[in-house]
Structure 1
């Protein structure tokens, strides 16, 4: 039988596909443009997205990895079930967790709650993965660092727990390969809470040079982002960072199956993530 991967060309998806290929899993990846997918040899690439997938996309598929797309998840799950797909592994967010009250009312939580509901309301054969904040969010700093500009940082002493996307891909691969060893919900974060200055320090160590930074206030950040980011997202970030100055995020982990725990332990350190992404910060 075949495993269908949506979001196959994203940060998590590419690593997930590579992991499953190494295991010898028969894969089909969904991509809007198969000619640009650049996935490993032997991976069948079907054209489409969650809104349009149907028919032959589901032929022979018994398991699907569900990426939390902005739209189309409900219809995708309906069509998948009608076509005989038996199990779903869903990429959600820790924002949905009852243990993460800070984010419970956010737009991120609302979106991922709807993604989860699209699956859980239709079938019990699911595993929900809820990762915390991705370290890839730090790629926002890549341009100024590559260019030698100071990184402009609001709330530099705020502390977050950042997860390596490889840990999320590893969890997804294990869930798809050995579903019986998982509970219905798996929560994952990075291993430690680090201030923004410490996060910058991890990147600095990886590229072997000091990175200058400037502390800026909320209004300066709003002005910086006015052309690039919706105001609602800007305000959500500022609120999040301000709250994590005095109340730092803490690592949250579900009890992990032995095979997954042996791979990622309590989470990959940010220093390793920075090494893995060194080229993003050096050009």
Structure 2
């Protein structure tokens, strides 16, 4: 047994997650305040994420998106307020238990040793060691690699990959974890056009399967096309939250980003398209 699996299995039996009920609140932040270096980064943020939906966190640099995602994951402690997952407080719950309930994709994927791609993806199965679901490891890993189109270089060292390839392998690891809550921090940042669309389609597929998905995005077009709801952060506060067609308003986006914009409708889908206003 690998050292990583041992870390999760030595703690004894754990209650497995109950399959999510579509529409049920899977993750909730209430009056969340987080200070880093003595400075408030989040100030009174409240957000609910339901099973079966994709929620996009958007906003300018420094708005608090990544901090909110880390707080939702339990990786950054709150100074006040709190986070609940499955209706229970996140604080104080052991890491092995949380790993069965939420999977986290950080902005940067780095490893200290030259693991092969398949080994990296298989790390996502570590929380299931010693459970009745352990027998699914091979099939789940294969499915995750196929979904993210990394099967073709399964044997290559992770540190020999391009930035975009690493990003897809890291996402495959998260998918292999099979947690009902997915927290993804800028999963499209290093990707080309095809793979940006692939990643957001995966998010929608996981939501259709009943997962709750929270994804940090800079591309407002992707947020509009794939998210059920968009949460706009500004200065550590929630400036707006709701369906993309309601939230992606030219006045609001122009004020939050300090950049005049026009919001057009996609000619085929009607999805909002946010375009910077440029002088001729």
Question: Shared fold (TM-score greater than 0.5)?
Answer: no
Structure 2 length normalisation: TM-score? 0.30
Q: What's the TM-score, normalizing by structure 1?
A: 0.30
> RCO higher in 1 or 2 (8 Å CA, sep ≥ 6)?
2
Between Structure 1 and Structure 2, which shows a larger proportion of strand residues?
A: 2
User: By percentage of residues, which structure has more helix?
Assistant: 1
